[in-house]
Each structure stands twice: as structure tokens, then as C-alpha cells.
Amino acid sequence: MSFSGTKKSPLISVPFLKKRLRRITALGFHNLTVNEFYFTIHFTLHRNENTIAFYTSESIVNQRSPEWSYLNFPTNVQCLQDFFMRVWITSSNHSHLFLEYDIHLDDSLIPDEQKNEVNKDNNSLWLEMFGYRFTDTNKENNIQENDTKILLIDKKKRISFTKSYNKLSIIRMNNIIHAVRTEKQASLVYLQRLQTFFDANKDYLSKIKERESRQLHIENLKKYLHFQTYLYQQRLNVYQQKQKNIEDRKNQLNQNLSQLIIQQEVIHLYHNNLNQSRAILHKLIQIISYRQKKIMNEIYHYIYPIDNNNQNEYYIANIKLPQADDKIYQSTLFREHDHEIAAAVGYCSHLILIISQLIQLPLRFPIDYYGTSVIKIYDYSLEMNEYPLYPTSNLSAFRYGFYLLNRNIGQIMYHCRIADRNTDIRNTLESLKELIEQYFINSTNNNKHYQNDLSLCVSFI
């Protein structure tokens, strides 16, 4: 079965590497003579002309010198040396055969770099293997090159056959041959004389041979002894140098050890001093804590005592302070108790400031207290951050300031672990009474047996 445009192509290749299908890394064509304006091109590979394709390439659009690289052939055909290629052109949903190549990857191929001229005619195929490019060549060019080589070889043979010798050259050659023969005969005579002398003095020569061999052996032994002596001296010097370095290192380590022992003693002394200072600091902290709680106990009993009656009404310094949700704070009709409420809130504010300073806790909402009736509390998270802690015409501002004061009490109780986040902080005096009695008074009564120890520690300091 024949096709139009069929082209048979033996490719040139590298003679020292095995050429297989898997070695092809890229291939392409030069100047395809395609008449269509818009077309796609692809190729298929077959084992022979009558088999189906075992590989189909990707399609390339409108390229008259197409190239394909990164070829991934099936595993079962990667060792092929002979295979058949068909090039297909597709245009207007119609595909037709354009070229056929019968490819033989044999040892008669050479790379383009080793050729005088590379064939780049129309519809010429090239392959890339082992980093070399191989292009197909025309058979007519190969035949002409072979004929030219044969003519050159014949011409050289004719030139070598026409060369001849003259008379002087022949005479010179005869003289040389005669001289060689004479020298050969003379060498044979000398060889016979030497053989005769050797036979006559065989015992003497054997003794000389034995003596010379013995002397040679002695010389070799002397050289070996000299070499071993030199080697021993070198090793001895290296060993002595190593011992010296070890001794120096030992002395340095001993010095470092003595310094470390001294430093260890100093550190031990520092450690003892630190332990003593820590014990003294611990005692001082206990003294300060005990004194703070005692001061707070005295303030609670003698300055700002908090009491309650049977009706669960709380008083601070004998002044009644209603709870935050009392109706007295809801309207302006009950203004006769404003001075009492202002005084009670002022006492609470002063007591809260004293407690926060004793336990060194910054208040979430700072209180501005200078011993006057104009006491203010601040909430810096709001645009209007100043609120009074005394009844004014603006009861909503006073109620919010009273709420912030209760928030401060809740903060101190949470810090002292008296209450949790779910504790009702609206009962102002009840919360303050619970805080002072549980954190300051009860702990002071439980730690009275430490008073003598603390007094001894103070005297020691």
C-alpha cells in the first residue's frame, strides 16, 4: 500500500551509544510544504506499515517547522530501533496523511556537529538523542560522497605505485645490508667467546654472584634499618609532643578546677546569703501583712465600723446607707437624707481606697478623694468619664457613680478570693463587711500565734 508524499529516511547517529526509541528526547521537521492556511499537525508511531499506532503525539497549530519534546513512550516499545512514523494534517475537520518515515536507529548515523553540511530541505526530519541532533540526509548526496571518497583512494594508490628507486639508492641499500650482516657475524663471534669464558669460570662467577647478591642484601638491610630508625625517631618525636600537650592540658585543667572550686565556694556563700535574705524577706512580708490586717482591723472597729440591725439595714460609722436598688435613688422626692447618703458613700470610698492601697491593687475605676464632699469616680472607657459620689440634681450620674463604686468592691473581693463573678455587688456595706471580716479580721485572729515569732524576727533585723 503506497501513499503520496512518502519519504524513506535513514537517520545519522552517534556510533558509540546504543540508539533506542526511549533515547529520543525531542523531534521535529524543517519547512513542511503545507498548502492550508489554518491546520493542525500531529504524528503517530507504528511498529511497521501494517500495525496500529502505539503512540500519538500532541497536536500543534499552524507550525510549518513543529517541534515536540518531553516525549513519554509506552514501556513495552522503548527498546525499538526500527519503527514507522506517519505525519497527519488536519484542516476543516478533515484529516489526511502528509508524510511517512521508515526510521532505522543503527550505528551508521553521525550527529550534525560531525557533518560538513546539514540537510535542511523541505519536509526533512530531525531527532535529538544524547544531547545531539540527527537530521535525515538524501541518498543521492550519500552516493556522491561515497564515489568521491573512492576516487580519492584510487588516486592515492596510483601515486604510490608510480614511485621508483634510482641506482645510487640501490647501491646505498646494498651497502647497508652488507654492514648489517657483518655486524651480525661479529656479534655471534663475541657471543661464542663470552659463552666459552663463562663455561671456563663458572664456579668463580657463581661465587662472585653470591658475594654480590649478599652485599646487595646487606645494603638493602642497611637502608631498611636506616628507614626504620628514621620512622621510629619521627614517631618518638610525635609521641613526646603529644605527651607534652597532654601535660600542658592537664595543668590547665587543674588550674581551671581550682578556680571552679573557688567559684563554687563563693557561689555557695552567695546561696547561703540569699537563703538568709529570702527568709528575712518572708518574715518581713508576714510582718507587713500582719500589720496591714491589724491596721485594717482597727479602722474597721474604731473609725468606720459597719453594723446591721434586725431589719437587715446596714450602717457605716452610725450612718445608714441604703442598697443600690433602693427607691430613694430613683426620684428627687426623698432629698432630706442627701447629706447622710453623701457622708456614707464618702466613708465607703475612703475605706475602699485604704483597702486598695494596703493590698496594692489599682482600682478599675479611679476615685478622686480629698476628704471633702466633692468625691468623684471615673470611667475612662466612656466619653463622659467623671461621675459624682454624692447626690446631685442629676441622679442618673450619681446612680452610675454608685454602680462603679460597687464594681470596685467586687474587683477587690474577686482579687482577695472572697467572691466570684456571680456575687451580687449591689449590697455595698454588706459586701464591704464580708470582705473585711473574711480577709483581714479572721486571718488576723488565726495568725496571732505567729506574733511572738514576728517580733523576734524584727529584733533580729
The answer as to whether 256 is a domain residue is no
Q: Which three cell numbers stand for residue 264?
A: 563554687
R_g of the chain, CA atoms, integer Å: 59
What's CA 8's distance to the chain center, in Å?
56
pLDDT one-digit tens code per residue, 413-423: 988 888 776 77
Secondary structure (3-state) at 85: strand
Residue 342: give its domain's CATH number. 1.10.418.40
The answer as to whether 69 is a domain residue is yes
The answer as to whether 125 is a domain residue is yes
Find out whether 346 and 375 touch, Cβ atoms under 8 Å: yes
Cα–Cα distances (Å) from 335 to 218, 322, 342, 347, 418, in that order, read 137, 14, 11, 19, 35
Answer whether residue 142 shows pLDDT above 80. no
Q: Which three cell numbers stand for residue 85?
A: 512514523
Q: For the chain, how many structural domains are there in total?
A: 2
Q: What's the CA angle centered on 417, arms 316 and 291, to 5 degrees? A: 65
Final residue before a domain boundary, out of 105, 121, 136 = 136
Task: Give the whole-number percent of the chain exceeding pLDDT 90.
Answer: 29
Residue 94: give its domain's CATH number. 2.60.40
The answer as to whether 293 is a domain residue is no
Query: Which residue type sits at 56?
Result: T
Confidence of residue 331 (pLDDT cuts 50, 70, 90): low
Average pLDDT over every residue of 270-281: 94
| pLDDT value, residue 222 | 94
Find out whether 201 and 195 touch, Cβ atoms under 8 Å: no
The answer as to whether 53 is a domain residue is yes
Q: Which three cell numbers stand for residue 330?
A: 430613683
pLDDT one-digit tens code per residue, 302-324: 888 988 888 888 889 888 888 77
- Of 125-139, 243-257, 284-298, 431-445, which one has max mean pLDDT? 243-257
How far is 242 from 116, CA to CA, in rounded Å? 69
How far is 5 from 28, CA to CA, in rounded Å? 17
Q: Which three cell numbers stand for residue 58?
A: 500532541
Find out whether 406 and 415 touch, Cβ atoms under 8 Å: no
Final residue before a domain boundary, out of 136, 161, 183 = 136
Query: How many CB atoms sit inside 10 A of residue 375's CB?
Result: 21
How far is 185 from 182, CA to CA, in rounded Å? 5
Answer whether residue 69 shows pLDDT above 80. yes
CA-nearest of 199, 1, 19 to 103 is: 19
Answer whether residue 399 shows pLDDT above 60. yes
Final residue before a domain boundary, out of 118, 136, 154 = 136
How far is 446 from 461, CA to CA, in rounded Å? 25
What's CA 136's distance to the chain center, in Å?
50
Find out whether 354 and 341 touch, Cβ atoms under 8 Å: no
pLDDT one-digit tens code per residue, 356-373: 998 889 999 999 887 655
Answer whether residue 161 shows pLDDT above 70. no
The answer as to whether 422 is a domain residue is yes
How far is 345 from 356, CA to CA, in rounded Å? 16
Task: Give the whole-number percent of the chain exceeding pLDDT 70.
Answer: 81
Range of the domain at 318: 304-459
Average pLDDT over every residue of 39-45: 92
The answer as to whether 258 is a domain residue is no
The answer as to whether 163 is a domain residue is no
